[in-house]
Amino acid sequence: MKIQKVLAIIPPTKGTSFAGDSIPPLGIVRILNYVRKNFPEIEVELWDGTLMNLPIIIERIKTLEKGTLVAISAHTSYNYGNCLAILEQIPIDVEVVLGGIHLYESRLGKIATEKHNFHVIQGQGEFALPQYIEYLEGKRRISEVNNLMYLENGVFAKNKLRYFSQEQLSFPEYEEILNLEEYGRHYHKIFGESDLALVVMSPEGCLWKNKSGGCLFCDIGSAWRGHSSQFLPRWIMHHLERYGANKRITFWNYADEASGIGFKWWEEVAKNMKTFGLKPHEKFALKVYVKSGQGFFNNKIASALSRCGTEIIHLGVEGGDDTILSSWHKGCTIADHIKSIDAAKKHNFKIIISFAIGAPGTTMQSIINMRNLITSMKERGDIVAIAALPVAPMPGSLMWEMLKKKIRKKNPEKYADLFMIDNPDLEEIRQLWFNEMCPDFVKEFGSLPKAVQWIRDEATSMCKLSSTGIISRIE
């Protein structure tokens, strides 16, 4: 079969966040760049669920013709159900492959492969998708497609998994794939400085995840990136030259903890920026995800981050007291968080804070403690956005495994209905988590529905306490 078009789809999620609304995708764009590089005759197109709703995608998907390869990204548990909804409407003679970090890290890819006979790319897809096209066109055996999971004669097969450092991959090129002007509705409203925000990779993925196994609710693996202190300056140079005309760009390190790489590394980044002639804070800024606690974000690292152009930090606070932080396995205390806010204030950083509601042992007092902490943090720093969410256990997280183990022993039938499928009911699982892990909290309200609704209302209310009042909450 000759492939004439590759259509990449990022299905919409069930919830929203200001970050999801604002930042153009990175991974899928670069994968399409590699398709274009290897097959210049193939048309490439991207449908991004941030900009397109599900009914529109489903209606358009029905019109696809033979010779089209649809590559769908399951980047979170939240959008996997929409992946399935889209797959049901794809014409039978259209080829399909799934990918996305969540399918691999949560092990849902194996279930999806065995249940639906999907072909799933695990890990990085920049080289894997062009190889998969060669397979479809009869130029390569399926066993030779790196990073692919599939069924062969009814048996689950998993090809060789290869990882590449960021410096082995080309810089992304957005032209003719998406319109950057369609993103960023909140830039000026929240931050006031930059005209455009783009994603940048952290050096080593989430360092807390690497060192300790991570927080209970985290559903993504360490996501190793692998690059030197020269990579970030070069990344910035490329994007400024290509997209920075008459624009100031904020580069977002969104979800990978970056402060723990250490002062020395960030000092080297600052020196390389100077060598390359970059002027932090003038044409660009950084937004960096940081963690409180020993060996992570502190005043010394904040000074280095500032010299590299950091103007915004995202601090995952998660709880309002030490008991809840310990329950979440955060590896820090409230005193550590206060030190982080003070360091951010000293260097004039704007601050995004986030809270995960529902740690084991949560009570109404736990929520009151969160509110009190927010008040204290607002007095000490410039809190421009607050993200608060009632947490649902995600496949691949420690929460998920804890609840699975408990329900398997307590109710085997419910266990099979909820956990042994590829599209679990996350809302039912969320409520089950609160019922099993926060029983005192549920008792305080007299019923589980009332308790969960109160938490939703509290989460929304907390988000409005930032200086911008913007709702930033993922369902």
> What is the 3-class SS of 106-164, one letter each residue?
CCHHHHHHHHHCCCEECCCCCCHHHHHHHHHCCCCCHHHCCCEEEEECCEEEECCCCCC
What percentage of the chain has pLDDT greater than the value 90?
Answer: 56
Residue 15 has pLDDT above 50, yes or no: no
Per-residue pLDDT, 413: 87
Residue 204 has a pLDDT of 66
Region 60-76: mean pLDDT is 91
Q: Does residue 293 sit in the same domain as residue 409?
A: yes
Q: What is the mean pLDDT of residues 450-460?
A: 92
pLDDT band for position 22 (cuts 50, 70, 90):
low
Residue 471 lies in a domain: no
- Over residues 453-459, the mean pLDDT reads 92
Say what the pTM is: 0.89
Look at residue 360 and tell me if it is in a domain.
Answer: yes
pLDDT at residue number 183: 78
The overall average pLDDT reported for the chain is 87
Among 189, 180, 198, smallest CA distance to 471 is for 189
pLDDT at 475: 43
pLDDT band at 186 (very low <50, low <70, confident <90, very high): low
Name residue, tokens 């030190």.
339
pLDDT at 192 over 60: no
Query: How far apart, in whole angstroms, are the C-alpha atoms of residue 312 and residue 255?
Result: 13
Q: Clarify whether residues 290 and 354 are in a common domain.
A: yes
Which of 131, 164, 197 lies at the terminal end of a domain, its last residue?
164
Please check whether residues 43 and 146 belong to one and the same domain: yes
Do 132 and 259 belong together in one domain? no
pLDDT of residue 222: 53
pLDDT for 239: 94
Answer yes or no: are the C-beta atoms of 465 and 379 closer than 8 Å. no
Q: Mean pLDDT over residues 231-260, rounded?
A: 85
DSSP state of 25: P
What does the alpha-carbon distance between residue 84 and residue 97 come to, in Å, rounded to a whole number? 12
Range among 168-172, 254-258, 345-349 rated most confident: 345-349
For residues 49 and 131, membership in a common domain is answered with yes
Q: What is the mean pLDDT of residues 168-193?
A: 77
| Of 261, 262, 245, 127, residue with least CA distance to 206 | 261
Domain count, the chain: 2
In Å, how far from its chain's centre is CA 421? 23
> Quick one: pLDDT band at residue 63, thresholds 50, 70, 90?
very high
State the CATH number of the domain containing residue 401.
3.80.30.20
Q: Does the structure show a pLDDT above 60 at 17?
A: no
> Which of 164, 196, 231 finishes a domain?
164
Looking at the fold, whether 326 and 276 belong to one and the same domain comes out as: yes
User: Is residue 171 domain-resident?
Assistant: no
Q: Would you state the pLDDT for residue 117?
A: 75
Q: What is the pLDDT of residues 276-293, one digit of tens each?
A: 999 999 999 998 989 999
Look up the domain containing 122 and give its range: 5-164
Is 208's pLDDT higher than 60? yes
Q: Assign 471 a pLDDT band (cuts: 50, 70, 90).
A: low
Answer yes or no: is 415 within a domain.
yes
Q: What is the pLDDT of residue 255?
A: 58
Cβ–Cβ under 8 Å, residues 10 and 76: no
Please give the average per-residue pLDDT across 155-161, as a whole number: 88
Asked whether residue 429 is domain-assigned, the answer is: yes
Q: What is the mean pLDDT of residues 108-120?
A: 71
- Regarding whether 201 and 143 lie in a shared domain, the answer is no
Taking only the tens place, the pLDDT of each residue in 364-373 is: 999 999 999 9
Q: Are residues 399 and 457 in the same domain?
A: yes
The letter for the amino acid at 184 is G
Cα distances from 181 to residues 18, 118, 195, 245, in angstroms, run 16, 35, 9, 13
* Position 211 in a domain: yes
- Asked whether residue 139 falls in the same domain as residue 208, the answer is no
Is residue 190 over pLDDT 80? no
Mean pLDDT of 78-105: 83
- Predicted pLDDT of residue 284: 92
Residue 412: inside a domain: yes
130 and 192 both lie in a single domain: no
**Domain CATH for 148:** 3.40.50
pLDDT at 339: 97
Are 51 and 146 within one domain? yes
Q: What is the pLDDT of residue 474?
A: 42
The DSSP line for 65-96 is -TTEEEEEE--SGGGHHHHHHHHHHS-TTSEE
Q: Do 25 and 155 fall within a single domain? A: yes
Looking at 29-38, 53-62, 223-232, 456-465, which range is the least confident one? 223-232
Q: 413-439, pLDDT tens digit by residue?
A: 888 888 877 777 888 999 999 999 999
Nearest by Cα to 317 from 403, 380, 262:
380
In a domain, 39, yes or no: yes
Is the pLDDT at 134 greater than 50? The verdict is yes
SS3 label, residue 303: helix
Q: Quick one: pLDDT band at residue 269, thresholds 50, 70, 90?
A: very high
Q: How many CA atoms lie within 13 A of 182 on its CB side?
A: 13
Query: Which pLDDT band holds residue 184 (cuts at 50, 70, 90)?
Result: low
